[in-house]
Amino acid sequence: MAPSPSLDPTPTESTPTVQFLTPEGELVTSGPAEEYASYLERLTDDDLRAFYRHMVVVRRFDLEGANLQRQGEMALWVPSHGQEAAQVGSAFAARSQDHIFPSYREHAVGLVRGIDVLSIVELLRGNTHGGWDPTDPTNGNFHGYCLVIGSHTLHATGYAMGMQRDGVVGTGDPEVDAAVLCYFGDGATSQGDVSEAFVFSASSQTPNVFFLQNNHWAISVPVRVQSRTPLYLRSRGFGIPSVQVDGNDVLASYAVTAKHLDDARSGKGPQFIEALTYRVGAHTSSDDPTKYRDEDVHNLWVSRDPIARFEKYLRAKGEGDAFFDEVRTEADDFAADIRRRTLVLEAPPLGTIFDHVYSEPHPVMAEQKLWLERYEASFEEEQA
Amino acid sequence: MSPTESTPVVTSAGPSTPAASRVEELPMVKALNAGLRQALADDPKVLLMGEDIGPLGGVFRVTEGLQAEFGRDRVVDTPLAESGIIGTAIGLALRGYRPVCEIQFDGFIYPGFDQITSQLAKLTNRGGGAFTMPVVIRVPYGGHIGAVEHHQESPEAYFAHTPGLRVVSPSTPNDAYWMIQEAIASNDPVMFFEPKSRYWPKGPVDFAGTAAPLHASRVVRTGTDVTVLAHGAMVAVLMQAAEIAAGEGVSVEVVDLRSLSPVDYGPILDSVTKTGRLVVAQEASGFVSVGSEIAATVAERAFYSLNAPVLRVSGFDAPFPPAKLETKFLPDADRIMEAIDRVMAY
């Protein structure tokens, strides 16, 4: 895949990017993709339709979130526009027993794993710092968002160390063997915690798959400021094998992640995937990309849109208007439901401040909670 | 040493072992070793993690013999990175383990500061109580060992200031033995500050005794004229000062704080109500310190009982000096006496 000259590090001659779908939506298996081709054979037509459906629904969700933010319903919105293929493909590659440690832009992954993405609205609205319970099996082992860049990569590594101790790695039983899939961005690769996660995971040979979505921007700073070499090379000095994949190709994202999750589950140690993609929207609703982005590069990436590409592929395979119309309607209904439920969200109770700071009784929390309740009640008495 | 040599503990038979009176004179390092061994034996989810804690037994030998006894998966020599140690401990806790991390020296905790304050301390709250964070971070701290820079600090106030953490510090081998086990049994993160200068003096450890509550403060010498209060190594200095004061006709009551967060104010306020005077001592710099907080709270809650201002005796508000000056930097019994004399003058 052609780099973006003004954003990327100096390309190396040998950069091998795994791609199955050309931007025109043609399926081509050649070069570095050949190693992964067998993983596509696992996919049924229903799977392919599910990939498309999730990508479209999450983009519509993203648009609704942005609109709700502009209408004052949230202080902040974090868009995922443009990264749908990287997220949906990799998320579908994970098995139910795998655990996911997201950064904070993985709305599509959360949707695939089964969380109610209204929780993301609640988080960004200021109703909660978390939102979904990762210990509830219906949430697909999707752990909480983590806003301190890169810090969760160590949690993912420790979690995988626990899996090793629990004997759920390398048993050969596909229903038992598990791995941890951890998402982060190009900016995070500069954080010390990410390097330490590589050190610890390599040292213990943990079942981690580190999935880097290189969306080319850390807020306003292009990826070439983070690295002088392509980022997929970053992990190799730590002894972690790596691959670069076209992150706007949902099939490549799926196949590459499936293969490396298999490797991790089977006891081959940590794996690193760099998915090349692009943040079409702003970093967040507080950002202004017009101050820094190159419109030519931007337009180039918009032309590589992952959903449009996959739609061309599905149409060439024979999928007709009825399916695409149905998905569009489903996405609109989904967004309308999110809007409806957002507008009736109420502020959390006062106890939220104190109730879970500690898991066991704590005299200061009890005392301050009581004080605040009485203080608040004193105003009601005055009004009475 | 072999795993069982000089092992004072009721071994892996667990708490059901008959509780015959078993008091031994041990240094704090051995008492901690015994407490950690007991915790490892009691709960297979307990893990120790840190730098050099395996074959070496830690730079202070607190974990000596434990890897040989419990294996490398449970007593883990980690790569040399404090953020990595704490961050992976968090992941292990999410998976149901109870990691006990050793930070090699007080001044090396800062590379792990973000994982402690932004992640470990906040995760239970962020998760709305869906999961707990039973992680203990052991920190050898304080001066009086003639060490180089970064090896003599008292950083406990940073952590006492952080909601979501519990912060404790034993002053005796017996407390060390029991408190480390209580800290490991806690479902909340506990910062466990071990006073390095008290690692080697021996004291009685009652293996058949019962643990005082982890967060209880305690009167360790009774008196009537002035209350002095400290935690960790400074408690022994207060006991010296109390002895000197007794020779001068001043009756000093000594309170061992034991828990820095939360602070158990009951015994402190009872004592001050009785004596009318309070001196708070600490090795840490005094500005924005645990001692400052306690002084302010006692002034709020016991104002009408006080006959004198609450005084603080602290390390100076300067970086810890080269070791040849540490006895001038750290409060000693004479500096405690100077403060006692001042509050007695009111």
Q: Does A10 fall in a domain?
A: no
* Domain CATH code at residue A215: 3.40.50.970
Q: Does B213 fall in a domain?
A: no
| pLDDT for B150 | 96
- B173 Cβ contact partners less than 8 Å away, ≥ 6 residues apart: B26, B27, B28, B30, B31, B202, B203, B204, B205
Same domain, A124 and A244: yes
Taking the Cβ of residue B117 and every Cβ of chain A, the question of whether any pair is shorter than 8 Å is answered with no
Domain boundary among B173, B206, B239: B206
Same domain, B256 and B331: yes
Identity of the residue numbered A282 = A
User: Which residues from B are below 8 Å from A360, CB to CB?
Assistant: 186-188
How crowded is residue B337: how many other Cβ atoms within 10 Å of its Cβ?
A: 20
CA gap A179, A263 in Å, rounded: 9
User: Which residues from A are below 8 Å from B294, CB to CB?
Assistant: none
Percentage of chain B lying above the pLDDT 90 cut = 93
| pLDDT for B121 | 98
Instruction: List per-residue pLDDT tens for chain A, 384 residues long.
Output: 556 667 888 766 566 899 999 989 999 998 999 999 999 999 999 999 999 999 999 999 999 999 999 999 999 999 999 999 999 999 999 999 999 999 999 999 999 999 999 999 999 999 999 999 999 999 999 999 999 999 999 999 999 999 999 999 999 999 999 999 999 999 999 999 999 999 999 999 999 999 999 999 999 999 999 999 999 999 999 999 999 999 999 999 999 999 999 999 999 999 999 999 999 999 999 999 999 999 999 999 999 999 999 999 999 999 999 999 999 999 999 999 999 999 999 999 999 999 999 999 999 999 999 999 999 999 987 776
B228 three-state secondary structure: strand
Catalytic residue among B151, B161, B215, B231: B151
Taking the Cβ of residue B218 and every Cβ of chain A, the question of whether any pair is shorter than 8 Å is answered with no
Q: Enumerate the β-bridge partners of residue A210.
A: A182, A272
Same domain, B163 and B290: no
Q: Does A7 fall in a domain?
A: no
CB-closest option in B84, B93, B130 to A200: B84
Q: Does B49 fall in a domain?
A: yes
Same domain, A80 and A131: yes
Inter-chain contacts counted by CB atoms under 8 A, chains A and B:
131
First-to-last alpha carbon distance for chain B, in angstroms, is 56
| pLDDT for B18 | 47
pLDDT at residue B12 greater than cutoff 60: no
Taking the Cβ of residue A367 and every Cβ of chain B, the question of whether any pair is shorter than 8 Å is answered with no
Reference B260, options B343, B337, B168; nearest CA is B168
Same domain, B147 and B172: yes
CB–CB of B127 and A158 under 8 A?
Answer: no
CB–CB of A151 and B188 under 8 A?
Answer: no
CB-closest option in A158, A360, A364 to B92: A158
Same domain, B136 and B275: no
Interface test with A, best of B43, B47, B94 (most A CBs within 10 A): B94
Q: Does A1 fall in a domain?
A: no
Same domain, A272 and A373: no
Q: Domain count for chain B, please give it.
A: 2
Instruction: Dump the DSSP string for A13-69.
Output: TT--EE-SB-TT--B---GGGGGGHHHHTT--HHHHHHHHHHHHHHHHHHHHHHHHH
CB–CB of A151 and B87 under 8 A?
Answer: yes
Domain of A356?
350-383
Reference A58, options A96, A100, A86; nearest CA is A86
- A24 Cβ contact partners less than 8 Å away, ≥ 6 residues apart: A309, A312
Same domain, A269 and A367: no
Q: Does A3 fall in a domain?
A: no
Catalytic residue among A292, A328, A362, A374: A292
pTM of the prediction? Answer: 0.95
Same domain, B152 and B228: no
| pLDDT for A2 | 59
Taking the Cβ of residue B337 and every Cβ of chain A, the question of whether any pair is shorter than 8 Å is answered with no
Same domain, A169 and A118: yes
Domain boundary among B181, B206, B231: B206
- As given in the structure block, the two tokens for residue A229 are 């070499």
Catalytic residue among A107, A283, A293, A309: A283
Q: Which parts of A126-277 are beta strand (E)? A: 180-185, 208-214, 217-218, 221-222, 242-246, 271-276
Same domain, B176 and B234: no
Same domain, B150 and B55: yes
| pLDDT for A79 | 93
Same domain, A92 and A170: yes
Q: Domain count for chain A, please give it.
A: 2
Same domain, A235 and A376: no
**Paired sense of beta strands A221-222 and A217-218, if any:** antiparallel
CB–CB of B126 and A355 under 8 A?
Answer: no
| pLDDT for A12 | 61
- Tell me the CB-side half-sphere exposure of residue B205, using CA atoms within 13 A: 29
Domain of B34?
25-206
DSSP state of A116: -
Instruction: Dump the DSSP string for B283-305.
Output: EEESTT-HHHHHHHHHHHHSGGG
How far off is chain B from A115, nearest CA to CA, in Å?
Answer: 14
Q: Enumerate the β-bridge partners of residue B261.
A: B167
Backbone phi, psi, residue B108, to 5°: -100, 10
* Domain CATH code at residue B267: 3.40.50.920
Same domain, B87 and B200: yes
B144 is catalytic: no
Same domain, B196 and B320: no
Q: Does B11 fall in a domain?
A: no
pLDDT tens track for B106-159: 999 999 999 999 999 999 999 999 999 999 999 999 999 999 999 999 999 999
Same domain, B236 and B124: no
Same domain, A199 and A321: yes
Domain boundary among B206, B232, B265: B206
Same domain, A241 and A153: yes
Same domain, A363 and A214: no
How far off is chain B from A206, nearest CA to CA, in Å?
Answer: 11
Same domain, A236 and A365: no
Same domain, B162 and B242: no
The continuous run of DSSP H or E covering A155 comes out as helix A152-165
Interface test with B, best of A122, A135, A151, A154 (most B CBs within 10 A): A154
Q: Does A84 fall in a domain?
A: yes
A143 is catalytic: no
| pLDDT for A382 | 75
pLDDT tens track for A72-124: 999 999 999 999 999 999 999 999 999 999 999 999 999 999 999 999 999 99
CB-closest option in B81, B114, B163 to A357: B163
